[in-house]
Amino acid sequence: MLASATTLMEATRAEEGCLDYVMAADPLIPGLLRLFERWENEEHLGAHRAASHSRTFQKSFGDCGVSGVSIDRYEVASVTKLL
């Protein structure tokens, strides 16, 4: 699945409006992938969700043994640099 994730990340990062897109395996929880993404606006996010590479990746979940998906959305009001 990580090979598919890499392909998706490369294609997504090339999309207009993509500010960040990172998918990483959790080293403490086998089989858990964490996704972080930032978009310039809602329209760019919508275009990403409709993109063929996004749909292809989602369709591959069953083939990779994915048994469930949980997605949380956070609305961030501000960002402060820690370091």
Range of the domain at 20: 2-64
Q: How far is CA 41 from CA 16, 18, 53, in A?
A: 10, 9, 20
The answer to whether 48 touches 39, Cβ cutoff 8 Å, is yes
Chain segment 4-41, per-residue pLDDT in tens: 788 899 999 999 999 999 998 889 988 888 899 999 99
- CA neighbor of 9 nearest in space, from 28, 18, 19, 22: 22
Q: Which two tokens stand for residue 32?
A: 């858990």
At 1 the pLDDT is 66
pLDDT digits (tens, 9 = 90+) for 31-76: 888 899 999 999 999 999 999 999 888 888 777 777 778 889 998 8
Q: What CATH code is carried by the domain that includes residue 28?
A: 3.30.70.100
- pTM, to two decimals: 0.81
Q: State the total domains in the chain.
A: 1
Phi and psi torsions of 19, nearest 5°: -95, -40
**Any domain includes 72:** no
Residue 80 lies in a domain: no
Residue 60 lies inside a defined structural domain of this protein: yes
Structure-block tokens of residue 14: 């090339």
